[in-house]
Structure 1
Amino acid sequence: MFRRPLRAALAAATATTIMAAGLAGCSAGSDRPAPGRRAGPPAGATPGATAPASPAPPGVAPSRRFAVGVRELSYNRGGDRRLPVTVWYPATGAPGGSPDRGARVAVGRFPVVLFSHGLTGRPSDYQALLTRWAAAGFVVVAPRYPHTSRGASELQVLDVVNQPADASFVLTRVLALNRAAGDPLRGRLAVDRVAAAGHSAGGVTTIGLFTVGRDERLDAGIVLAGTALGVGTGFTGTPAPQLFVHGERDDVVSYQAGRAAYDRVPWPKAMLTLPDGDHRGALLGDDERGLDVVADTTVEFLRWTLYGDDRALRRLPEQATRGGLASLDDRF
């Protein structure tokens, strides 16, 4: 849970800075093994060379593309904290096309990526990116937050401080489905291989999951156009590699703010910089070429950190810089 001083600090900072104004433009109990222990590799993974600093045991990520299924869940953390959740997952069938609602889950055990949307956003806004993660062999879990999403009865910017706890709550409930009799995800989740990711205010939420609201189940993080405003840069707990993505022409969350948070990460890290990137184009699909670079770079990062695939780590710089659209500060 979050400390009272944090709430006060966030309130003071947000009233006159990015969260109160800038972030308004964001977008249109588990069954995990005890700390220090790891379950075996996901189904289909084979031993490989040790990847530097990867949290996962050596393995090989799936090379095939999966069809993508989608389902909706609904949870409530209590009171007015209702949390609808969209889940995209690898499915049986031919890859490509739109996500198939209720499609059969593919055979295997798949790592989980917990995704947080930006202010006034919804999970569906990010379908172009998140379905690429699912097609690569990841189960993507995306809650819609009660007071910062589009359509909320009352937009409450300061409620971002509560979202790391919401995210952890959702993660606990979804991971429990791995043992839920009759659930389609039963036996399909690699519950010991989990990353968090988020855009803008969702990037704040993601950083919070590694600082004031540290969730030790998380092995890696992806911060898309995010900042540490309100959640701080006191990164703590087991080292977890971080990938930051930011456009230099972002006029909502400045590149300098994102870089400042990145610079404070004490763990293996990299920052993908798009010189012509704005706050949303390459992340929500408005910029197709930029989206390709972001999607392929983040997929390689997830393959490395969650499947333990060191080949993905070697491919990552090439994906990040192809076409000359971006540069990579690589500190992995």
Structure 2
Amino acid sequence: MSVPAQRQTIAIKPITVPAEGRDFELQVKVTAPARGADLPVIVFSHGNAWSMDGYGPLVDRWADAGFAVVQPTHLDSRRYGIGFDDPRFGTLWRVRVADLHGVLDHLGHVMEQAGLTDRVDHSRVALVGHSWGAQTVGALLGARVLDDAGEPGEDFSRDGIKAGVLIAATGTGDSLTPFAAEHLPFMRPDYSTMSTPALVIAGEKDQSEMSTRGPDWFLDAYHLSPAPKRLLTVPNGEHTLGGIAGEAVAETTDTDPARVALVADAVSAYLSDALDVRTDSWSRFRAAAEAERKASAQRKD
């Protein structure tokens, strides 16, 4: 990271969360400041093939900013070996959604196991996701998945979630490549019902191999969802936005620690504002980022 963390943090793993119908236990990692009270909570959904052990550059910076972060490991994690050709793969998007609901249902248990029962604020909970994790989070914010006939499926929205952040979120399914259409038919989000306040973060040069469209595909979550929404576009950013999943990981094509810090700080600032921790944090961040030409922002209310 461009600026070392200033606050001592702690990390506890694995914590097992009660879950039924899973081939493997649902486990999470919790990262939080070593001191402090009334901590707001982020539940983070990782991208395809990752786990609770990824995204350290983001999570550590959020903990340094005063958040308690919960990271579940979804069944698509490479450690479980359920690949595209596995007959279970097509249902994993539903398990991902169930994972987030399960973590929220048992958040008290998770925080007790982490030794944070008296230090977190259960009234201030937000969801954040990257890539497939962003689509997963979107479902709890109100988005649905369209079927082959274009009809919206189940409503998985979650009451009590004040805000969310979608980083490199899947666009609509009308431009999927043949591979994506065959293996990822659930990649057809309908954002028209995603009414929970959210920040959408997209890379200016994020060209997905799953869509025939350009980087504008990753703007759909902002343009096609109802207000209130915020959009942050990162100049020259690609899908991992400088390396948010980890330093020098194989899939990072645009290594830039400063860009990672920008994304992490954008999430902290937006959620501090949305969760009423510091209501001027987003406006201050946005003004500084635009003045330094690090990002461009849009809003609809």
So what's the TM-score if we normalise by structure 2? 0.76
Matched, 1:145 2:145: no
Q: Contact conserved, 2:46 with 2:133, CA < 8 A, in 1?
A: yes
8 Å Cα contact 2:192/2:226 also seen in 1: no
Whole-Å separation in 2 of the counterparts to 1:202 and 1:183 = 23
Question: Relative to structure 1, is the Cα distance of residues 201 and 177 closer, same or farther in structure 2, using a 3 angstrom cutoff?
Answer: closer
Name the CA shift for 1:209/1:299 in 2 (closer, same or farther; >3 Å): same
Distance 1:152 1:124, change over 3 A: same
Contact 2:12 2:114 in 1 (8 A): no
Give yes or no for the alignment of 1:201 onto 2:143: no
CA RMSD of aligned residues (A): 2.2
The answer (yes or no) to whether the contact 1:113–1:138 under 8 Å persists in 2 is yes
What stretches of structure 1 of length at least 5 have no aligned partner? Answer: 1-63, 92-105
Identity among equivalent positions (%) equals 28
Distance in 1 of aligned mates of 2:30 and 2:114: 13
Residue in 1 that maps onto 2:17 = 75
1:173 maps onto 2:106 in alignment: yes
Q: Which of residues 238, 248, 258 is equivalent to 2:204? A: 248
Residue 66 of structure 2 aligns to a residue in which SS? coil
Q: Which residue of 2 aligns with 1:266?
A: 226
Structure 1 residues 308 and 267, CA gap change in structure 2 (3 angstroms): farther
Once the two structures are superposed, residues 4-48 of structure 1 have per-residue CA deviations (whole angstroms, 9 ceiling, x without a partner) of xxxxxxxxxxxxxxxxxxxxxxxxxxxxxxxxxxxxxxxxxxxxx
Q: Give, in angstroms, the shift of residue 240 of structure 1.
A: 3.0
Q: Kindly indicate whether residue 251 of structure 2 is the aligned counterpart of residue 310 of structure 1.
A: no
Within 1, Cα distance between the matches of 2:293 and 2:109?
A: 43
> Is the CA contact 2:266–2:282 (under 8 Å) kept in the aligned structure 1?
no
Structure 1 pair 151/276, CA: closer, same or farther in 2 (3 Å)? same
**Equivalent residue for 2:175?**
none
Structure possessing the higher relative contact order (Cα contacts under 8 Å, 6 or more residues apart)? 1
CA contact (8 A) 1:272 1:320 kept: no
Gaps of 5+ in 2: 84-88, 143-154, 172-186, 248-254
CA 1:314/1:218 → structure 2, altered by over 3 Å: closer, same or farther?
A: same
1:154–1:118 Cα change, 3 Å: same
User: Number of matched residues?
Assistant: 250
2:114 matches 1:114 = no
Please report how far the alpha carbon of residue 177 of structure 1 lies from its aligned counterpart in structure 2 after TM superposition.
4.8
CA distances 1:224-262 after superposition (whole Å, capped 9, x unpaired): 0012534422425xx532111111211226532221221
**Cross-structure match for 1:233:** 191
Per the alignment, residue 22 of structure 1 pairs with: none
Kindly indicate whether residue 161 of structure 2 is the aligned counterpart of residue 218 of structure 1: yes
Deviation of residue 158 (structure 1)? 4.3
